[in-house]
Structure 1
């Protein structure tokens, strides 16, 4: 995994340099970099040759995240998908969280529409699952939390962290995609306008993530933790 990440980082730097030299559009260059960021996780999954039961659990988590997006389609921007992705990362680790987030966006866009925004959505939601998994693993190692048994203060802290993750990380990543797609010549004024326009949307999305984590995280984490321990999958 480390070798793949190092290779992706080196290739990203080469793409940026070539993009500047050839005068490629900001969007094309940035999208190629995003694809490089996604590739190591899928390459690592292929190299590990996971068992069928691991793939079943992974597919089930992706399906749950897709259903969460589809079910709330009538409510603009209020989607619990990021919360489900974060819960997957907390239960099975950052690598699985990233794959669930990226996979959920790829699959759900078969319904919502594929386009040049899809890699950015995969990166944004994958990052959410990765961050939740890495943070949870660190807290579990230090004995600060028990996987699948969060107290109310811990649930509040988790929900608040999910809100901030959407508003400060995932949302701005998607706004950056909008910036590259909508603006031919990027200026400070155009960037500020795009990010400010996206802020209310990110707050609504963050609120959905907050409420879902607060209400659903504990019972779902208990179920997923039993699956992880009993069947030894995605550990």
Structure 2
């Protein structure tokens, strides 16, 4: 496969900014929505997350004029993820979103992975239903895309089907499933307890397993052709390269 990991000397300034937003600012914003706004301003919280994800891309273009093709490719990947989620609406949890988000992160970097994931979660919920769960889904998809890009850049995640499938399956269960199960307890009950949290995780395990199986399946089918095509597009147009 033509896509190869970079070997950076360290994290760029925009990657450090994105990590700070993901680890500190977005959780604080979601906590604000739960405990201060009583989970009734989820549109507002979701839009704030979208704005946060745009900040690293502003830094990409701070020293040069952005070209439309550099933004269109991110929008297209987000649209593919949204369309994929909608196309499999009849199969609960069996969705290609995580697979496409991982491909975006591997091909265009951690920040792009987070943006595609968060954008896909927000836009697709106009079809599946917006609610207090939307910011959690946006964060779950986005974090997986960010980690995929970060680990690939560090050389810990390879572009082989085996490496991508192992990462995708584990990330779907642990990160996305873990966050959504936690959100069920925090937003759906009046009191928090470890016993209740354990019960929610146990009851949701089989749903998470189906979701992970879907991620592995779609990575097996889509990863190689999409990464090769995106790599050719990147080389031809010089998309989202560090300046």
Query: Above 0.5 in TM-score?
Result: yes
Q: Using the TM superposition, give the Cα deviation of residue 8 of structure 1 relative to its aligned residue in structure 2, in angstroms.
A: 7.8
Q: Paired residue for 1:178?
A: 184
Gaps of 5+ in 2: 1-13
TM-score (structure 2 length as normaliser): 0.79
| Equivalent residue in structure 2 for 1:218, among 204, 221, 224 | 224
In the alignment of these two chains, the number of paired residues is 219
Q: Paired residue for 1:84?
A: 100
Q: Paired residue for 1:193?
A: 199
**Deviates further, 187-196 or 89-98:** 187-196
Q: Using the TM superposition, give the Cα deviation of residue 7 of structure 1 relative to its aligned residue in structure 2, in angstroms.
A: 7.4
Structure number with greater CO (CA < 8 Å, separation at least 6) is 2
Contact 1:178 1:194 in 2 (8 A): yes
Q: Does 1:44 align with 2:60?
A: no
What SS does the aligned partner of 1:76 have?
coil
The 5 A counterparts of 1:16-31 are 24=35
Q: Using the TM superposition, give the Cα deviation of residue 41 of structure 1 relative to its aligned residue in structure 2, in angstroms.
A: 2.4
| CA RMSD, Structure 1 to Structure 2 (Å) | 3.1
- Aligned equivalents of 2:178 and 2:79: distance in 1? 25
Q: Paired residue for 1:121?
A: 137
What are the superposed Cα offsets for residues 6-56 of structure 1, whole Å, 9 maximum, x if unpaired?
A: 57866679879x97xxx947975xx89998776542222245443211111
Q: Paired residue for 2:8?
A: none
- Aligned equivalents of 1:76 and 1:15: distance in 2? 29
Q: Paired residue for 1:101?
A: 117
- Aligned equivalents of 2:209 and 2:87: distance in 1? 19
Counterparts in 2 of 1:34 and 1:109: CA distance versus 1, 3 Å = closer
Q: Paired residue for 2:236?
A: 230
Q: Using the TM superposition, give the Cα deviation of residue 71 of structure 1 relative to its aligned residue in structure 2, in angstroms.
A: 0.7
**Deviates further, 219-228 or 42-51:** 42-51
Counterparts in 2 of 1:60 and 1:6: CA distance versus 1, 3 Å = closer
Contact 2:60 2:240 in 1 (8 A): no
Counterparts in 2 of 1:135 and 1:184: CA distance versus 1, 3 Å = same
Q: Paired residue for 1:163?
A: 169
Contact 2:84 2:97 in 1 (8 A): yes
TM-score (structure 1 length as normaliser): 0.81
Gaps of 5+ in 1: none
